[in-house]
Structures are given as structure tokens and as C-alpha cells.
Amino acid sequence: MSSERSSKPTDLNLLPKAFVDEATGSVPPAKPLKQKNPAAVELGRLGGLKGGKARASKLTPEQRKTIAQKAAKARWKKAD
């Protein structure tokens, strides 16, 4: 299943024309999907893998406790 949005118009006056164009094959070809740069993907993954550990190592125990308490309050607030 594609994660892209439908190319059909939401205007009720244009929707029937879109159906006819699609049925008759007069729809322009779809745009090719953009390819990601593999080097950039690897760099982003590398940063993501070490990000949480690096941040946690810089925090004091008091800072970690404060962050954890704030997160717990946010989780419990959602349950209401």
C-alpha cells in the first residue's frame, strides 16, 4: 500500500472527469518516487543509534529523575 495521497481531486465537479480520464487511460504518468541518498540515511541512523545513550550519559541522576517524572505525569494525564 502506498503512503502517498490520492491524486483524485476533492472538488466534486472535477471528480467525475478524473474517473473518466483514469478509465480511458488519458491520465499523465505518475511522478517517480524520490530516492534517498544511502550515505545520508546511514549517517542519520548512526546518530539515532547513539543519541539516547549519549544524552543519558551527560545527565545527572537528578535531571534524569525530573525527566522521568515529567514523562510519567504526561502518560497518566493521557489516561484521564
**What is the pLDDT tens value at each position of the chain, 80 positions in all?**
445 666 667 788 888 887 888 888 777 766 777 888 999 989 888 888 888 888 889 999 999 999 999 999 999 987 65
Cα–Cα distance, 36 to 45 (Å, whole number)? 13
In a domain, 49, yes or no: yes
In a domain, 73, yes or no: yes
Total number of domains constituting the chain: 1
Cα–Cα distance, 35 to 60 (Å, whole number)? 41
In a domain, 54, yes or no: yes
The whole domain housing 52 covers: 34-80
| Cα dist from 37 to 4, 34, 43, 44, 55, whole Å | 20, 10, 10, 11, 27
In a domain, 57, yes or no: yes
In a domain, 22, yes or no: no
Cα–Cα distance, 65 to 73 (Å, whole number)? 12
Q: What is the pLDDT of residue 30?
A: 67
